Amino acid sequence: DIQMTQSPSSLSASVGDRVTITCRASQSVNNFLSWYQQKPGKAPELLIYAASSLQSGVPSRFSGSGSGTDFTLTISGLQPEDFATYYCQQSYSAPRTFGQGTRVEIK
Amino acid sequence: EVQLVESGGGLVQPGGSLRLSCAASGFTFSSYSMNWVRQAPGKGLEWLSFITSSSHIIYYADSVKGRFTISRDNAKNSLYLQMSSLTDEDTAMYYCAKETYGSSCGNWGQGTLVTVSS
pLDDT digits (tens, 9 = 90+) for A39-88: 999 999 999 999 999 999 999 999 999 999 999 999 999 999 999 999 99
pLDDT value of position A20: 98
Chain B nearest-CA distance from A100, in A, is 6
User: Based on C-alpha coordinates, what's the Rg of chain B?
Assistant: 13
Mean pLDDT of B32-42: 98
pLDDT value of position B10: 98
pLDDT value of position B40: 98
Chain A nearest-CA distance from B107, in A, is 7
pLDDT value of position B102: 85
Put simply, the answer to whether B45 touches A38 (Cβ < 8 Å) is: yes
Note whether A62 and A75 are within 8 A (CB). Answer: yes
Q: What is the dihedral of CA A61, A67, A71, A75, to 10 degrees?
A: 0
Residue B15 has pLDDT above 90, yes or no: yes
Residue B67 has pLDDT above 90, yes or no: yes
Put simply, the answer to whether B47 touches A97 (Cβ < 8 Å) is: yes
In chain A, residues with a C-beta closer than 8 Å to the C-beta of B107 are 46
pLDDT value of position B117: 97
pLDDT value of position A106: 87
Q: Which residues pair with B107 in a beta bridge?
A: B98
pLDDT value of position A107: 87
Mean pLDDT of B31-42: 98
Q: Is A32 on the interface with B (CB under 8 A)?
A: yes
Put simply, the answer to whether B44 touches A99 (Cβ < 8 Å) is: yes
DSSP letter at A80? G
Nearest to B47 among A51, A55, A98 (CB): A98
Size of interface A-B (CB pairs under 8 A): 71
Q: List, for residues A17-36, the tens digit of each pLDDT value.
A: 999 999 999 999 999 999 99
Q: Is A45 on the interface with B (CB under 8 A)?
A: yes
DSSP letter at A98? B
Mean pLDDT of B38-56: 98
Nearest to A95 among B62, B105, B111 (CB): B62
Put simply, the answer to whether B104 touches A87 (Cβ < 8 Å) is: no
pLDDT value of position B110: 98
